Amino acid sequence: MILPTFTSTPAAEKFIRRMVRFSDHPTGGLRLTVTEGGCSGYNAEFTVEAAPREGDAEVLVGDTKVYLPAQSRLLLQDVVMDFADTPTKSGLTFTNPNAAPCACSSSGDAAASAMPAQASPVSISVSSIKRMGAVG
């Protein structure tokens, strides 16, 4: 069984260690299922389990066991796994140095480029606004 070569940051190691330590299976490991998708290119789901499932590989992240299904092992090759806790996201994050940059953006340029080419700004002349008489 070929194990992936990936890097984990101290923040990711701390998160994984705490998830396992404070679970119902403190001597088990974190089963990490990684799939393609999301803005970063990866989605992750995890559970803490007493033992690996059939077909899972057991790897150490820091000093904590992580159980990886076959597809996850392929996707994690050369990836950096980190943990982020910001106002916009919290959880494991993955950076693939070989992947193309994300095309999504929350900047004004992205919003402007999303408008149809034939669209033009609407303007209203102040002189076209007329005061309506009182209804009486």
Q: Domain of 15?
A: 7-98
User: Does residue 42 sit in helix, strand or coil?
Assistant: strand
Q: What is the pTM of this model?
A: 0.69
Q: What angle do CA 70, 7, 88 make, to 5 degrees?
A: 95
pLDDT in the model for residue 13: 97
The answer to whether position 131 is within a domain reads no
48-89 confidence digits (pLDDT tens):
999 999 999 999 999 999 999 999 998 998 999 999 998 988
119-135 confidence digits (pLDDT tens):
333 333 344 344 445 55
Both tokens assigned to 136? 């009486």
Q: In the chain, how many domains are there? A: 1
* Radius of gyration from C-alpha coordinates of the chain: 25
The answer to whether position 129 is within a domain reads no
The answer to whether position 82 is within a domain reads yes
pLDDT value at 90 more than 50: yes
Nearest to 32 by CA among 90, 2, 63, 74: 74
Residue with tokens 């088990």: 28
Rounded-to-integer distance, Cα 79 and Cα 32, Å:
14
What is each CA distance from 51 to 7, 55, 57, 104, in whole angstroms?
23, 12, 11, 38
The answer to whether position 105 is within a domain reads no
